[in-house]
Amino acid sequence: MSKCALITGITGQDGAYLSQLLISKGYRVYGTVRHLATANIWRLRELEILDKTNLIEIDLLNYDSIYDAIKTTNPDEIYNLASPSFVGTSFEHPIYAGNAGGLAVTRLLAAILAADPDIRFYQASTSEMFGKAQTTPQTETTPFYPRNPYGVAKLYGHWMTVNYRDSHNLFACSGILFNHESPLRGRDFVTRKISLGLSCIKEGQQDILRLGNLEAQRDWGFAGDYVEGMWRMLQHEIPSDYILATGKPRSVRDVVDLAAGALGMDLLWEGTGAEMVGIERSSGRKIVVVDPAFFRPIEKELLTGVAEKAHSVLGWRQRMGFEDLIAQMTERDHDRVIKKDLFY
């Protein structure tokens, strides 16, 4: 008999790639959305799996709604990928971030305990929990010090997952994932803003790409690789918490250079800091500028993870390199711009 998985946040980047993976392994996949009529399903459609998933409505701010969804779908595994995903907006809506990113995890765990304690649970934790990192690089034992409401909420959900595992013997795992990108990333994220923005500039649909701190570094991997790590965590004999990361931080300017290169645009950089500009060498046009409006209220320390535990215990490996990732994202966005796709 095939396994059944319930994925919260199925319409997001990770939810879509995870659904694709589980379907390829013969799972029956249920995914939760807040409202079926307004669900943003373009990612499932792009991966050609929309007709292979079962969407159900759920309110993660309501315990009864969660419990009913679990009893209706009877899953073997639950992957909690739903939460406010854009860090910047958590400063504007800290109460909602805490409720949806933190307390919702407790509701899920409590509902699992009441409905079926044999369900295996995955919690999407994040490198944002390290924030003002006490050591670099970070491992599973590095102390947490979140620097934004999103990271604080995620830390609460992380520790509740550990608590339910220890106190109630639930099979509950947290994946501490560092930045992971793809052509399915939301347009608010800097990697996608770059790949789409430069594609629009290339085709004459945009003049300037405005970015924040170009020297900010992130540990960027491919989302399709990382969802396999999520699945591997729930297949192991013993529940635990794992970092998934590349261990190789790269700067925002690196992303710009690689995306520009994928489009045949050679950039010349002039100035420093907030005065830095990117100039297209062939035309002399200024196409990239720094805009302080995009700086974070509190910039985090250099976050880069050590995934040795996932390598040795789970056999997980990152397959796609950074250069190929940015090239894939840029080529897909350029194709979207040329074809005037409207759903992305």
CB atoms within 10 A of CB 339: 8
Residues with a known catalytic role = 126, 128, 150
Tokens of 156: 């609460």
| DSSP string computed for 50-79 | GGGEEEEE--TT-HHHHHHHHHHH--SEEE
Contact present, 225 and 318 (Cβ < 8 Å): yes
H or E element at residue 106:
helix 104-115
Contact present, 82 and 11 (Cβ < 8 Å): no
Contacts of 89 (CB under 8 A, 6+ apart): 97
Strands of the 120-126 sheet, one edge to the other = 53-57, 28-33, 4-8, 77-80, 120-126, 171-177, 241-244
